[in-house]
Structure 1
Amino acid sequence: MKKLLMIMSIVLIYSCAFAGTPPEAVKKAFLKKFSTASKVSWGKESPKEWEAEFTYEGSKVSANFSEDGTWLETEREIKIDNLPKGILESVKSKYSDWKIAEVDKTDSSKHGTIYEVDLKKGMKSKSLAFKEDGTSIKE
């Protein structure tokens, strides 16, 4: 048991010590894609994926990269008014008694553009996702 605790402690210390320093390939890919980013902080999204949180063009943004520097996705909070009209109308008609709490736009190398809409109703919350054309992909 002591040996297991010691191994877990070493892994935790190692991951915390190096979590803020992405590989050079990731840093280069990030700078190429977001050259004017400021207030950048790095963390590990998973063992082989890095996430940068930063300010870009006046917005708070996060972007994920694989260890080899391949861009995976970029997510930013957007105003409700910037949600495509079809998505907004769909949400308002199906969830008229819910309040839109937050809207995120995610551009992904794998899935294209996805809009996530977080709803609140009292103590309940719900998260929806739509393709750019308004097709619901998560309800």
Structure 2
Amino acid sequence: MKHLLGLLAAGLLLSASASAQKMKAAQVPAVVMASFNRQFPQAKEVKWEKEADQYEAGFEQGKQELSVLLDPSGKLVETETEIKVDQLPAAVRATLARQYKGVKIKEAAKIVAAGTGAVTYEAEIVQGGKNVDLLFDAEGREVKK
């Protein structure tokens, strides 16, 4: 029994470390912060997280909720804009209805890669009591992160 509890605790620690870590603005490297402030001077209520070696800023700009991912040098990697679920492309909604029958879509977003301009769509669903993020291209094909 102790062995099982130890394995469970180790698994929880590993899964917690794999997810994004919240951080204070003062912990964000100066070069990343300067780049963000230059590119998004109108950002309000900015919340920072670290994902692997990149920095994510979630914020409001006007009436939109955005998040951006920046690399350690401050270069923009991607921009994610929250959209209404009914704004997901029809092909994405059809795939969700077919492959994830009866699952509720909580949130949706449009993600644009900074370097290529490639667009993907994110649908956050509740599956098995957990929030799961799924990515799709505009044709409704599921994309791996």
TM-score, scaled relative to structure 2: 0.65
Structure 2 stretches lacking a partner, 5+ long: 1-21
How many residue pairs align between the two structures?
122
* Separation of aligned partners in 2, 1:100 and 1:53: 20
* Separation of aligned partners in 1, 2:55 and 2:133: 24
Could you say if the C-alpha distance between residues 40 and 18 of structure 1 is closer, same or farther in structure 2, counting changes exceeding 3 Å? closer
* Separation of aligned partners in 1, 2:108 and 2:38: 27
Report the equivalent of 2:77: 72
1:137 aligns with 2:143: yes
* Separation of aligned partners in 2, 1:99 and 1:121: 8
Question: Alpha-carbon deviation of 1:133?
Answer: 3.3
* Alpha-carbon RMSD: 3.0
Could you say if the C-alpha distance between residues 93 and 126 of structure 1 is closer, same or farther in structure 2, counting changes exceeding 3 Å? same
The worse-fitting range, judged by mean Cα deviation, of 21-30 and 32-41 is: 21-30
1:100 aligns with 2:117: no
The worse-fitting range, judged by mean Cα deviation, of 18-27 and 78-87 is: 18-27
TM-score, scaled relative to structure 1: 0.67
* Separation of aligned partners in 1, 2:129 and 2:26: 35
What is the percentage of aligned positions where both structures have the same residue?
30
| SS at structure 1 position matched to 2:26 | coil
Question: Alpha-carbon deviation of 1:43?
Answer: 3.8
Structure 1 stretches lacking a partner, 5+ long: 1-15
Between structure 1 and structure 2, the one with the greater Rg is 1
1:26 aligns with 2:32: yes
Does structure 1 retain, via aligned residues, the 8 Å contact 2:24–2:48? Answer: no
